[in-house]
Structure 1
Amino acid sequence: MARPQQAFASALRFTCGFRWLFACLTVATCWCPTSHAAESYSEIEAAYRAGDLTKAGEVSAAEVERGVWNRRWSELLIRIQLDQGHYVESLTTYEKAIDRYPTSLPLRALGIEVANFNAKPDLAAKNVAFIENYLNTGQLRYATSDTLVSAGRFFSKNGIDARIVLKSFYDRVLETNPTHLEALVATAQLAVEKGDFKVAAETVAKANRLDVEDARLQHLLALALRGTDASAASKALIAARSMNPSYIPAMVTEAEIAIDREAYQDAQKIVQQILEINANAPRAHALLAVLSHLNGDYAAEEQHRKQALEHWPTNPEVDHLIGRKLSDKYRFKEGAEYQRKALTFDPKHLPATFQLAQDLLRLGDEEVGWALAEQVNEADPYNVVAYNLMTLRDSTDGFITIPIEFDPSGANAMILLRMDPLEYKVYGAAAKALLHNAAEHLCQKYDVVLKKPVLVEIFPKQSQFAIRTFGLPGGAGFLGVCFGNVVTANSPASQLETPSNWKAVLWHEFCHVVTLNKSRNRMPRWLSEGISVYEETQRDARWGQAMNVRYRAMLLGDDFTPLSQLSGAFLNPPSGLHLQFAYFESSLAVRFLIEQHGIEKLLKVLESLGDGQAINAALTEHIGPLERLDGQFTEYAKTLAMDFGNTLDFAEPPRPSPFDSPEQIKENQKQWAQQNPDNYFAAIALTDRDIADKQWQAAIDRLTTLQNAGIANGACGVLKRISGCYRELQQTDNELAALKSWCDQSSDALDALQRLIELHQQQQDWQEVIDRANQALAIQPFRKQLQKDLIAACRERGQMHQAIDALNSLTGLEPVDPAGLHFQLAQAYQSDKQFEQAQNQLITALLIAPRYRDAHLMLLKTQKAIATAKAEAKKKAEAEKAAKAAEAEKAAQAAEEVSEKDKPSDSERSDDQTQASEDSPPSSEPQVKDE
């Protein structure tokens, strides 16, 4: 019997050789005289697509019972019975139908599903064999459009390259009949399954031009847009539910989104709605298993899994869905176990194989993870995510891995830093030092022992980071992501004009490593992100996020989110500002918990989460009732907001009338600003007008008022404006003070730092140059001038050993004079008495420029210094050895003297013997005296 690959080859020959015949047959089968039955079927199918399962089921059953010679009635009835979970009835309907239509490929394909849900693997295998034989014998030459679509779906489920299925089946149907709805739906479904969301969206757009209402199309559009346009995806999902309230796939997606938002009660309600339609729905019970796991009720989890598998005991989709959702919640270990269960049911189930590959890569099990990803890529070349991952692996093969050992608790833990070797030259040493510091400090603070190595990967290209992290290009705005023991991060090289502080990013992500290990990856997103942002500010007051005017308004307005609902703020935020505000408010919540209740209680919450307790229950047990916490946090946050600039008025300016001219609007705004001198927005508006008119002192006066009100931090533009005004007035000391204040409160004010360095150089304040250059390099280490400024300042202070890292960085930035640079490095190492490193740098310089006289001379001196150092080291070692020997001998003599002192005298020995004879009992043995 031909296997699917052989059957496909045969089918492909016939679809190519008889393309003209297929076109003719399609036209012939599409044309028939209008009949009442045809109209009735179209109406009932429309009712089915609209979710009226009762009416559609009753009419279909009546038509089948009436014996109408139209297999579509039987197929529709079977689909309805499967949707409602009437699996036994679907088997009866199928058996009767297949007796009448034994050669129907679409009916046979439907019969595979019927057999599976009735636990009849032999019947399923029989139908598979029939379809393979049907395709192998070339009967597709007479195939209708429906048969070709069914054949394509069969092949796509049996390992045939999806691109070939598209071209040879679905596209062929659409070439003859561009409005064939099922071919369009099948194309979009296949594209979504393979991660080709662009093709999926384009196909749905074509189908929508047919002016048909089909929930399947809107659901597919929602899946296609979910990763790139959350708002449009949400609208499409709402449209799908509106078109068909009983469409279970859309309901499952809606429940999944609710789980992602940690709106578990909403998810529970949606699942119950599914069960009202189909009490046996496997995906509904699978989602209940997920919810039970997240609630720590593992017995209920197993029970729901058992219910999901009740009618199809080897259904791999059940465990695949449970595992995928647990992985979405960062529980990759548990998710991987479920994928392994799915693969025991079907070892060729590619979705489970690929999900397992991704889980293992995120768990740090790279060898097996990459092998599985490669396996999927070879078996399914159209899988976009698998292809992207393998392309990424090829492009990052040249990365180097640097082990970082730390030992905060005797566990011999390790970090593996992986990055491009050229990038490592530039800032690798600083990254290594920062990660070591973060590990020791945070592990001790949160009482965590890292038992497995932590992998930190830094990618020079944003696209590489996105593919490694999300599987697809995109993810702009994400600087780093932590999966538990794996961290991925964007290199500063991938950030363009407005780079962020890469040190703050790595500290933030490593904090995730610690807290996720503490909670076993079982913490809500708001708490995880809140702790990481909070710890940024604890490490460096310039890091993290600070209160600003926008955040103040959001805390006091409708954008404020209660503590118990904070995770929902991260899903589908209306704008980038709202996402940033979610991070800020979460950090505020953590600050509230620590300040008001102590970090010890927060640690207990994390431990309870690790034991499987839900967040609300853990907060209630260790801190207090959730309602009270919500009220306390609301008061805390709003008090902080009110205290921010409390001498100012923050009322928004009135909106301009659409009937006013631009000149009138401008004049009205000016009058309003002048009438409200204590208003923040008025002050900013008048300041900007003063700056435009070059009224620098007037602008400074207004800005100074704002600064005195306490709102001039690194998160607003007050200090930026005021320093600019002082620069225009050439008031260097005042400009310097404003820039210092700005840079002392901001983590990424790169331009301000460069100006500050310039001013300190003019004043020859070299220590300030060193400090500010180091601060700037934490933002953008790839700016050569910053490295050079640091080196020059170290030279001026006679502290060239402090310039070693900067000089090493320049070697990775395409230096104009590489030999000279290595010579400078040799000088720096020599000043730090690292003579062997200096020798290596001199040899490198001479390899580049063999006639470099100064390098030759310095090499001779360095070699003498090395010889002298070795001799001194040897002499010192011998002296230490002799000293130890003398000390040991002295200790031995002292011990001997003590021993002699403790020995009894002759008289004492005599007395002892006398006492012994007095104390000893008489012996029964005869005494024998030795002669």
Structure 2
Amino acid sequence: MRRSLLPSVFCLLLSAFCFLPSAFHALTVAQTDESAQRVSLVGLVEAGRYAEAEASAKKLLEKNAAAADVRLMLGEVYAATGRYREAIGEFEAAGKNAATKGGISFVRLRGDLRRGEMLLLTGQEEAARTLFQSLVRYYNSANPQTAPELTLVARAFWHLEKYKDANDLYIAAITADATHIEAHLGGGELFTEKYNYAEAAEFFRDALKINPNSARAHLGVAINKQLEGGPEMLAALTRALEINPNLVEARCLLAKSELEAERYDVAAAEIEKALKVNPNSLEAHSLSVALLYLQDQNYESEVKATLAINPRYGQIFDTLSHFATITRRYAEAAQFSRRATDLAPRLWRAHLSFGVASLRLGREGEGRAAIETAFKGDSFNVWAKNTLDLLDTMGDYRETKRGAFIVKAAAKENDAVAPYAAELLEDAAAKLTAKYKFTPQAPIIVELYPNHEDFAVRTLGLPGLGALGVCFGQVIALDSPSARPVGQFNWGSTLWHEYTHVMTLQMTNYRIPRWFSEGLSVYEERRARAGWGDDWNATVLKALKDGRWFKIADLDAGFQRPRTPTDVPLAYFQASQICEFIAERYGFDAILSMLARYRDK
């Protein structure tokens, strides 16, 4: 999951902490007790104790209404708790008050940057852009050299989509002051945003050396690891929430992870916690919409409420597209992505999502055009680049049409592979159509890749995928026999497996759970040819003996969020055994009844 260009409320909040002490000194606070209260105010905000922080800030402002640094912190409290209009007012006042003091350029810059970010958060993009440009003009005219100022201008460049300039200034800030944690955090967030996860991790490691208790740094590590999932992401997320239990973006990341694992009750609880802190959190509202969608409930009223906060928040539909994709509802994913780009034409990842969904639906021309738009807007997007490179290599692929099937194979092996694939597919179609009493929508496109990394890019956008084949409903992609060493996999069995997905996905209107779909595919492999399909072995027997088999309710997570290398193969085998049990105990008509119920749920 790609990150939004819009930084989280908490990320923006903490960016004040590393340099507010210098502002305090610049303001020359006279009384020790008042100075201590200001330092305490920062700590309260960092710990997520927003009500106490608000009371403390207002008490300080009663003594000195022109205290720009205190207004800055009060603005952060309002931002963190979703009172965006009030936050805009405090950031504007902070900037004006700082300007009247003279020589406090940092607080003025900070107020302008944060005001711009609040305007952006509420859909006022042109007004926000004007403020970001003002920071760039300041940089060009004043040539600031301090780490705090350079870091602020870097963030402004980021919002203006000038990523190289942003990176250069983050590096310059670190060079000016290697202990300025905000520059390390900003660099890590930028590199994560631009898909350079390895170098992003280095920034976060350096940040944690400066402050091991930075919730923002731990959150950055978790976001950086969310594609992998697993214990490292969870540990970082847990630590961030230990430091600040009211860290809304961390709650949202945890909720998203639970939604992906289909633990809806847990996800709902995390969304509720996030919205209790910030009732106007756009990310939390988007996840609430996704939860309703996944539970087949009406979500349009929640969409309307979210867009009332920011009428240009295309990310809400990008979130829906993500969950439609992972539940294999590719047509709906494409529709959501289109709604996202209609609202936010510069949301480049939504253009990519639409393009990839279109390719999965067999609409190659439309898909390629959208991916080209995405790459033109964001040339750092490795998914877009890899997919476009793949489409270029497929220029010499040949098509073999046979009945309902279109087999696409590389020219060098088309004559040998395509006829056999077509024959096997027709055999599978005849047998499974009769057995399942269903004829899938045609044409069914089958793409055979002689290079496994090309198949991986077609499937995920990145090389390194361990799978052999994938089905999108009307499109099958898989390794050709030459993609793997001889004897490493059974190509015919894999093709039969994927065609079974065509049947079960389409006949349930793409509502079949992952475990049931995979289980039936392995079940049908065993019945297609002797020796096909996974069978009992020492690994699954030991897992059974050790009590490591999944509960059915947790079985999808074994595919989607595996915790050990053996989880995925175990999930495949166990799912097939559940299908074996149902068919043996209740008859195959029970399988057909379950498929119909998933379709109609």
* TM-score bracket for the superposition, by shorter chain length: 0.7 to 0.9
Could you say which residue in structure 2 is the equivalent of 1:125?
Answer: 126
Could you say which residue in structure 2 is the equivalent of 1:491?
Answer: 480
- How many angstroms apart in 2 are the aligned matches of 1:498 and 1:58? 70
Q: How many residues align?
A: 569
The answer on whether the counterparts of 1:399 and 1:420 sit within 8 Å (CA) in structure 2 is yes
- How many angstroms apart in 2 are the aligned matches of 1:526 and 1:203? 39
- How many angstroms apart in 2 are the aligned matches of 1:304 and 1:365? 31
CA shift digits 1:36-77 (9 cap, x unpaired): 577655553344233322333333343445437664433332
- How many angstroms apart in 2 are the aligned matches of 1:197 and 1:30? 36
- Deviation, 1:140, is 4.9
Query: Which structure is higher in RCO with an 8 Å CA cutoff and minimum separation 6?
Result: 2
Aligned to 2:309, the other structure's residue is in SS state: coil
The answer on whether the counterparts of 2:95 and 2:110 sit within 8 Å (CA) in structure 1 is no
Q: Does 1:97 align with 2:94?
A: yes
Partner of residue 156 from structure 1, selected from 135, 155, 158 = 158
Could you say which residue in structure 2 is the equivalent of 1:62?
Answer: 59
Aligned to 1:310, the other structure's residue is in SS state: helix
Q: Does 1:145 align with 2:147?
A: yes
Q: For 1:520-919, list aligned pairs within 5 A.
A: 520-611=509-600, 613=601
- Deviation, 1:143, is 6.3
CA shift digits 1:866-923 (9 cap, x unpaired): xxxxxxxxxxxxxxxxxxxxxxxxxxxxxxxxxxxxxxxxxxxxxxxxxxxxxxxxxx
Partner of residue 310 from structure 2, selected from 309, 312, 326 = 312
- How many angstroms apart in 2 are the aligned matches of 1:465 and 1:439? 23
Could you say which residue in structure 2 is the equivalent of 1:78?
Answer: 75
Q: For 1:269-668, list aligned pairs within 5 A.
A: 269-298=269-298, 301-405=299-403, 414-475=404-465, 477-496=466-485, 499-611=488-600, 613=601
- Deviation, 1:529, is 0.8
Could you say which residue in structure 2 is the equivalent of 1:111?
Answer: 115
The answer on whether the counterparts of 1:492 and 1:499 sit within 8 Å (CA) in structure 2 is no
After superposition, the Cα gap between the structure-2 partners of 1:59 and 1:392, relative to the gap in structure 1 and judged at 3 Å, is: farther
Give the TM-score normalised by the residue count of structure 1: 0.57
Structure 2 unaligned residues grouped into runs of 5+:
1-21, 100-104
Structure 1 unaligned residues grouped into runs of 5+:
1-27, 406-413, 614-931
The answer on whether the counterparts of 2:355 and 2:366 sit within 8 Å (CA) in structure 1 is yes
After superposition, the Cα gap between the structure-2 partners of 1:482 and 1:217, relative to the gap in structure 1 and judged at 3 Å, is: farther
Q: Does 1:166 align with 2:164?
A: no
The answer on whether the counterparts of 2:113 and 2:135 sit within 8 Å (CA) in structure 1 is no
After superposition, the Cα gap between the structure-2 partners of 1:133 and 1:268, relative to the gap in structure 1 and judged at 3 Å, is: closer
Task: State the identity %.
Answer: 26
After superposition, the Cα gap between the structure-2 partners of 1:80 and 1:326, relative to the gap in structure 1 and judged at 3 Å, is: farther
After superposition, the Cα gap between the structure-2 partners of 1:72 and 1:598, relative to the gap in structure 1 and judged at 3 Å, is: farther
- How many angstroms apart in 1 are the aligned matches of 2:523 and 2:490? 16
After superposition, the Cα gap between the structure-2 partners of 1:556 and 1:143, relative to the gap in structure 1 and judged at 3 Å, is: same
CA shift digits 1:447-481 (9 cap, x unpaired): 33333432322222222222221122222x31112
After superposition, the Cα gap between the structure-2 partners of 1:39 and 1:454, relative to the gap in structure 1 and judged at 3 Å, is: farther
- Deviation, 1:537, is 0.8
Could you say which residue in structure 2 is the equivalent of 1:53?
Answer: 50
- How many angstroms apart in 2 are the aligned matches of 1:71 and 1:389? 49
The answer on whether the counterparts of 1:537 and 1:543 sit within 8 Å (CA) in structure 2 is yes
The answer on whether the counterparts of 2:473 and 2:506 sit within 8 Å (CA) in structure 1 is yes
The answer on whether the counterparts of 2:508 and 2:595 sit within 8 Å (CA) in structure 1 is yes
Alignment RMSD (CA, Å): 2.8
The residue type paired with residue 139 of structure 1 is S
Aligned to 2:270, the other structure's residue is in SS state: helix
CA shift digits 1:321-380 (9 cap, x unpaired): 222222222222222222222222221221222222222222222211111111221221
After superposition, the Cα gap between the structure-2 partners of 1:66 and 1:534, relative to the gap in structure 1 and judged at 3 Å, is: farther
Could you say which residue in structure 1 is the equivalent of 2:18?
Answer: none
Could you say which residue in structure 2 is the equivalent of 1:821?
Answer: none
- How many angstroms apart in 2 are the aligned matches of 1:230 and 1:498? 31
- Deviation, 1:595, is 2.2
- How many angstroms apart in 2 are the aligned matches of 1:153 and 1:106? 10
The residue type paired with residue 195 of structure 1 is Y
The answer on whether the counterparts of 2:425 and 2:499 sit within 8 Å (CA) in structure 1 is yes
- Deviation, 1:419, is 2.2
The residue type paired with residue 147 of structure 2 is S
- How many angstroms apart in 2 are the aligned matches of 1:556 and 1:537? 24
Aligned to 1:51, the other structure's residue is in SS state: coil
After superposition, the Cα gap between the structure-2 partners of 1:273 and 1:154, relative to the gap in structure 1 and judged at 3 Å, is: same
- How many angstroms apart in 1 are the aligned matches of 2:189 and 2:121? 22
- How many angstroms apart in 1 are the aligned matches of 2:210 and 2:492? 53
Aligned to 2:470, the other structure's residue is in SS state: strand
- Deviation, 1:78, is 2.1
- How many angstroms apart in 2 are the aligned matches of 1:72 and 1:426? 73
